Chain A
């Protein structure tokens, strides 16, 4: 518990650091918010109009003044107003987040359901043909960019099976669970493919390590079956690296999957960030990046808790 409290205390510090970095770096990109917003019409603005607009958005102030204003707002739960959507940044993010979260969870489920058994299987068949096939598949999965997989998937589904993944507006789980799952299934498969490949590789090597440990020999000397040796004695000890990898990948997915969202025309966080950057929507960039960083911290915390759940040496510590 003490440990948890310590970790939570570091969160604000990290988030503060992230916010400063984003605040400064977004303003280092050439181009102004006003030009991006008005497009070609920006050329018709007089200097006075431009100044007025800048004053309206508060971007005429020095960067640090802007930052502290933004920070003051943050403490009141106000992330500012998006210039693209003309709505509070927080509302825009929370509207997009359910899709991203659901997509990430589905991809991870697919990846673990495929990758873990495959990795364990390959480890028990070490250096035999079936192990080699799994390793080649995993290598392919990891090295194929997901836009290739996404586009091929859409092509084959529509041309040969007449299935067209639902695009555009997202149907949330609360409205129609089945439709919601159906809509995100193929994007999740696309993302889950490479993810599963990584899980396969890491669980294979972790299992190989563990299977040569002394306590596995002990289990065999007791007369345990190979199933019991693998699932009861080896797997729990091999899960730590799998959890580490899954945590990192899941954290990335929570930041949105720009390319896959683009291919399947899904309104997720990834496209939101991309739009915000290209349109110089400072408040929105700031808000989304902070939100993504916060998610990452939460995921890391969950990973640490999972370590403790998996390994009594972490949970209980030294000798009693």
Chain B
């Protein structure tokens, strides 16, 4: 194998004094052509900055290479000095030698140009082909990334495509110039788990077809098992371990790698579910949801909508004290809308939501996904935590402050946190704050909408432990919305699987996760990446989530259910 890329003692800094603010502190690695290297690390480890230095896109984000060298071997065998080259020369390798795909397919495509034009532009820039020939090449590459009906999709704008489709377009755009190195910066992090599996399968297939080398950046060490030849683990800007994939996974040397591997929520197919909290069917539920329907009108004129998005269509479940019900499903399945409807944040068309007002007048509270966006940056912690109480008519008095201090202590934050502002906390600490705030009114039920999804894996594990402790102490019922099966397995007593606005399977967590009955649940569970299943390969599949837009007046046929166990119900699949 010939050497493609050689990085030596790379240092990258940011800001005016880039030497003092280094985020990459001496990274070295080699990459042979056709080889795949995975760079693994948590946010702030410098993994993305390292990758962006290889085509010097880091310059545009305010970064400066302060030391070291990057040498790329070009197709004709000449060595190209990346660190010492000027912008004009760097443009020659971007696209042509080094292609790149990014984390956010939603924002990485230009919204004002059709996808056909954007791909054709990459062709024109890198192969010299002109208009018709460029469009022909764009169409070919769309076929290669298995976009169904590629010809008509050429004239689509990015917003008309789903996240998975957009990521395919990104891949097509990077591939069309036949780069010899593809850098994939967290390419599946923003995608649903089944889509993630498809994109990974696609990348593996395309790599085999083209023989290109790949650098795969991810925070999820569980994900790289099936795709990488080598793994490089980064922490705080330095490489802590670098070896063959199997060596790193089976025999990690560095403490941090071991920690990462332990922290990855392993999905154990239902064998690691919680064993506390036996469900007692006779107990009165704290929340009972019956035939919940939420629809959003679309199209049509002033008076008469043409149809409606059936976001939630006839969802029923109940929740008893001390129990966690997880709702799993992909984006657009209606799980967040269900949560919001229960809190009255969206209007429901139909259905009953009965909550027992036990300890509090407001028995249901919520914790949101993004701890950065859900805390007002202008308020200090005391004001933030007092807010739900004041909104509920309580006075901001000594008793309230005592409760704040008590809850801060419970979620593991120091008492002096009260006078600090949200930006002074890390992501995990902020989520603890959000949890403490949700507990201010002493609720019976806490709705957690993807509450740990935005956190790094090791932080995620700690927050999950905290949630379990709080559940025991206060006998809280959790409605836990998540797309992450491994997280669900750790916290759920029961699981409800949502697909296209409906629950397709519900029951005891062990039963649902270990022996899924519905075809969608099976698909969802099969797509969960796992280190143990690294040899397993997925066929590329192009099924899309069905449209939820229905004509006005449409009612779905009555659901028919089948009992698959004592607490395990499955929806019959003949109803669409």
Distance from B425 Cβ to chain A, minimum over Cβ atoms (Å): 25
Q: What residues of chain B lie closer than 8 Å to A217, measured between beta carbons? A: 57, 60-61, 102, 108
Q: Mark B47-64, 1 if CB is under 8 A from A, else 0.
A: 000000001010011000
Question: Which residue of the partner chain, among A222, A236, A318, contacts B173 with CB atoms under 8 Å?
Answer: A222
Q: Which of A2, A213, A223, A237 contacts B96 (CB 8 A)?
A: A223
Query: Is A312 in contact with B112, judged by CB distance below 8 angstroms?
Result: yes
A130 at the interface (CB under 8 A from B): no
Task: Decide if A312 touches B111 in the complex (CB within 8 Å).
Answer: yes
Instruction: List, in ascending order, chain A residues with CB within 8 A of B94's CB.
Output: 220-223
Q: How far is B122's CA from A224's CA once the two chains are assembled, in angstroms?
A: 8
Residues of A within 8 A of B61 (CB): 217
Residue B160 is within 8 A (CB to CB) of chain A in the complex = yes
Chain A CB within 8 A of B491 CB = no
- Separation of A6 and B300 alpha carbons in the complex (Å): 12
Query: In angstroms, how far is the closest chain B Cβ from the Cβ of A314?
Result: 10
The answer to the question of A174 belonging to the interface, with a C-beta cut-off of 8 Å to chain B, is no
Contacts of A311 in B (CB 8 A): 111-112
A-side interface size class: 20 to 34
Per-position contact with B for A211-247: 1 when CB-CB < 8 Å, else 0?
Answer: 0011111111111111000001100110000000000
CB-CB under 8 A from A213, the residues of chain B are 107
| B125 adjacent to A218 (CB under 8 Å) | no
A128 is an interface residue with CB less than 8 A from chain B = no
Instruction: Determine whether the beta carbon of A218 is less than 8 Å from that of B126.
Output: no
- Give the residues from 103 to 141 in chain B that come closer than 8 angstroms, CB to CB, to chain A: 104, 107-114, 121-122, 125-126
Among B91, B102, B112, contact of A236 (Cβ-Cβ < 8 Å): B112
Q: How far is the CA of A254 from the CA of B185 in the complex (A)?
A: 51
For the complex formed, measure the closest distance between the CB of B152 and the CB atoms of chain A, giving whole angstroms.
9
Closest to B119 in A: A222
Q: Which residues of B contact A6 (CB under 8 A)?
A: 301-302
Interface size of B in residues (CB-CB distance below 8 Å): 41
Set of chain B residues within 8 Å of A114, measured between Cβ atoms: none
A31 to chain B, nearest CB (A): 45
Counting CB contacts under 8 A, is A310 at the interface? yes
The residue from A219, A222, A225, A320 contacting B160, defined by CB atoms under 8 A apart: A320
In the complex the two chains form, what is the Cα distance from A316 to B161 in whole Å? Answer: 12
Residues of A within 8 A of B4 (CB): none
Query: Scoring B residues 75 to 113 as 1 if CB is less than 8 Å from chain A, else 0, what string do you get?
Result: 000000000000100011111101110101001111111
- Quick check: B102 and A214 within 8 Å, CB to CB? yes
Q: Which residue of B lies closest to A312 (CB)?
A: B157
> Assuming A214-B104, A220-B94, A318-B159, is B112 touching A310 (CB within 8 A)?
yes
Interface string of B166-205 (1 = CB under 8 A from A): 0000100110010000000000000000000000000000
Determine if B162 is an interface residue (Cβ-Cβ < 8 Å): yes
B residues 268-318 in Cβ contact with A at 8 Å? 298, 301-302
Taking a contact as CB atoms under 8 Å apart, the answer to whether A215 and B107 are in contact is yes
Residue B256, interface by CB 8 Å: no
* CB neighbours of A236 from chain B (8 A): 112
Chain B residues near A27: list those with CB within 8 A: none
Q: Shortest beta-carbon distance, A238 to chain B, in Å? A: 10
Chain B 475-499 against A: per-residue CB contact (8 Å), 1 yes, 0 no? 0000000000000000000000000
Q: State whether the Cβ of B156 lies closer than 8 Å to any Cβ in chain A.
A: yes
Closest to A225 in B: B91
Question: Inside 8 A of B109's CB, which chain A residues have their CB?
Answer: 215, 218
Contact A218 B173 (CB under 8 A): yes
Contacts of A232 in B (CB 8 A): 113, 121
**List of B residues within 8 angstroms of A222 by Cβ:** 94-95, 121-122, 125-126, 173, 177
Asked if residues A223 and B95 are in contact (CB atoms below 8 Å), the reply is yes
Q: What residues of B have a CB within 8 angstroms of the CB of A219 in the complex?
A: 110, 121
Q: Which of A215, A220, A312, A320 contacts B57 (CB 8 A)?
A: A220
Please name all residues of chain A whose beta carbon is closer than 8 Å to the beta carbon of B111 when the two chains form the complex: 215, 237, 311-313
Complex alpha-carbon distance, A220 and B95, angstroms: 9
Instruction: Output the nearest chain A residue to B117 by Cβ-Cβ distance.
Output: A232
* Residues in B neighbouring A318, C-beta threshold 8 A: 159-160, 298
Residues of B within 8 A of A218 (CB): 100, 102, 108-110, 170, 173
Residue of A whose beta carbon sits closest to that of B125 = A223
* B residues 18-65 in Cβ contact with A at 8 Å: 55, 57, 60-61
Nearest-neighbour CB distance to chain B for A239, whole angstroms, equals: 9
- Once bound together, how far apart are the Cα atoms of A248 and B99, in whole Å? 43
How many angstroms from the CA of A226 to the CA of B88 in the assembled complex? 10
CB < 8 Å neighbour of B107 from A214, A220, A316: A214
Which chain A residue shows the least CB distance to B298?
Answer: A318
CA separation between A313 and B157, bound complex, in Å? 8
Q: Mark A49-77, 1 if CB is under 8 A from B, else 0.
A: 00000000000000000000000000000
A24 → chain B, closest Cβ, in Å?
30
Q: A1-25 interface mask toward B, CB cutoff 8 Å, 1 = contact, 0 = none?
A: 0100010000000000000000000
- Check B108 against A215 for contact (C-beta < 8 Å): yes
The residue in chain B whose Cβ has the minimal distance to the Cβ of A229 is B60
> Which residue of A has the minimal Cβ distance to B309?
A318
Could you give, for residues 194-225 of chain A, a 1 whenever the CB lies within 8 Å of some chain B CB and a 0 otherwise? 00000000000000000001111111111111
- Distance in angstroms from A228 CB to nearest chain B CB is 8
B residues near A233, Cβ cutoff 8 Å: 110, 113
Inter-chain contacts of B95 with A (CB < 8 A): 221-223
B108 touches A319 (CB 8 A): no
Q: Closest Cβ of chain B: how far from A309's Cβ, in Å?
A: 10
Q: How far is the CA of A311 from the CA of B111 in the complex (A)?
A: 8
| Distance in angstroms between the alpha carbons of A6 and B174 in the assembled complex | 43
Residue contact B126 to A223, C-beta cutoff 8 Å: yes
In the bound complex, residues from chain A placing their C-beta under 8 Å from that of B159 are 312-313, 316, 318-319
Cα(A166)–Cα(B17), bound, Å: 58
Q: Which residues of B lie under 8 Å from residue A215 when comparing CB positions?
A: 107-111
CB pair B125 A224 closer than 8 Å: yes
Across the interface, do A320 and B125 meet the contact criterion of CB distance under 8 Å?
no
Known contacts A214-B108, A312-B112; is A221 also within 8 Å of B100 by CB?
yes
B112 touches A237 (CB 8 A): yes
* Alpha-carbon distance between A28 and B332 when the two chains are bound, in angstroms: 58
A319–B161 touching, CB < 8 Å? yes
| Distance to closest chain B CB from A57 (angstroms) | 42
Whole-angstrom CA separation of A284 from B122 in the bound complex: 60
How far is B302's CA from A313's CA once the two chains are assembled, in angstroms?
21
Knowing A217-B57, A224-B121, the reply to whether A320 touches B107 (Cβ < 8 A) is: no
Q: Which of chain A's residues has its CB closest to B126's CB?
A: A223
B60: which A residues are within 8 A, CB to CB? 216-217, 220
C-alpha gap A232/B120 in the complex (Å) = 14
**Complex contacts, A313 vs chain B, CB 8 Å:** 111, 157, 159
Closest chain-B Cβ to A76's Cβ sits at a distance in Å of: 30
A219 to B57, CA, bound (A): 11
Chain A residues contacting B112 (CB-CB under 8 Å) are 236-237, 310-312
Please, how many angstroms separate the alpha-carbon atoms of A226 and B91 in the complex?
10
A43 CB to closest chain B CB, in angstroms? 57
Residue of B with least CB distance to A315: B157
Q: How far is the CB of B528 from chain A (nearest CB, A)?
A: 27
- Nearest B residue to A226 via CB reads B87
Nearest-CB residue, chain B, relative to A215 = B110
- Tell me which residues from 238 to 269 in chain A have a Cβ below 8 Å from any Cβ of chain B: none
Return A125 CB to nearest CB of chain B, in Å. 14
Q: Which of A221, A224, A310 contacts B99 (CB 8 A)?
A: A221
Q: Which residues 89-147 of A have a CB within 8 angstroms of B?
A: none
Q: How far is the CB of B295 from chain A (nearest CB, A)?
A: 15
Listed A/B pairs (20) with beta-carbon separation below 8 Å: A6-B301, A215-B107, A215-B108, A218-B110, A220-B60, A221-B98, A221-B99, A222-B126, A222-B173, A223-B93, A223-B95, A223-B122, A223-B125, A223-B126, A224-B121, A224-B125, A226-B87, A237-B112, A311-B111, A312-B114
Nearest first, the 3 closest Cβ-Cβ pairs linking A and B are A223-B95, A223-B94, A221-B100
Given contacts A2-B301, A233-B110, 19 further A-B contacts (CB under 8 A): A6-B302, A213-B107, A214-B102, A215-B110, A217-B61, A217-B108, A218-B100, A218-B170, A219-B110, A220-B94, A221-B98, A222-B94, A223-B122, A223-B126, A223-B177, A312-B114, A313-B111, A313-B159, A316-B159
